Amino acid sequence: MSPAPASLSVCARCRRCCTLTPGQEGLVFPLSAADLVAIDQAVGHEAWRTQADNTPEFVAMLGQLFPRSPQGLAKAFPPGGRHWRLAVAEGGRCFFLGDGGCQLSARLRPAHCRIFPIWRLGNNILHLDVECLAIAEASDMPALLRSLDLDVPLVKQVFAQIQGAWGLRQERVV
Pick out residues in 87-116 that bind ligand SF4 (CB under 6 A). Answer: 94, 96-97, 102, 104, 109-110, 113, 116
- Told to check if 133 binds ligand SF4 by CB under 6 A, we report yes
Closer CB to ligand SF4, 80 or 91, in the complex: 91
Interatomic CA distance for residues 88 and 61, integer angstroms: 19
Strand partners, 102: 97
Task: Return d(Cα 57, Cα 69) in angstroms, integer.
Answer: 16
* Local structure of 88: helix, strand or coil: strand
Q: What's the CA gap between 90 and 155, in Å, rounded?
A: 31
In this chain, which of 117, 141, 160, 165 binds ligand SF4, going by CB under 6 A? 117
CB 19 to ligand SF4: min, Å: 8
CA distance 11 to 150: 13
The least distance separating ligand SF4 from the CB of residue 131, rounded to whole angstroms, comes to 7
Tell me which residues touch ligand SF4 (CB under 6 A): 10-11, 14-18, 86, 94, 96-97, 102, 104, 109-110, 113, 116-117, 132-134
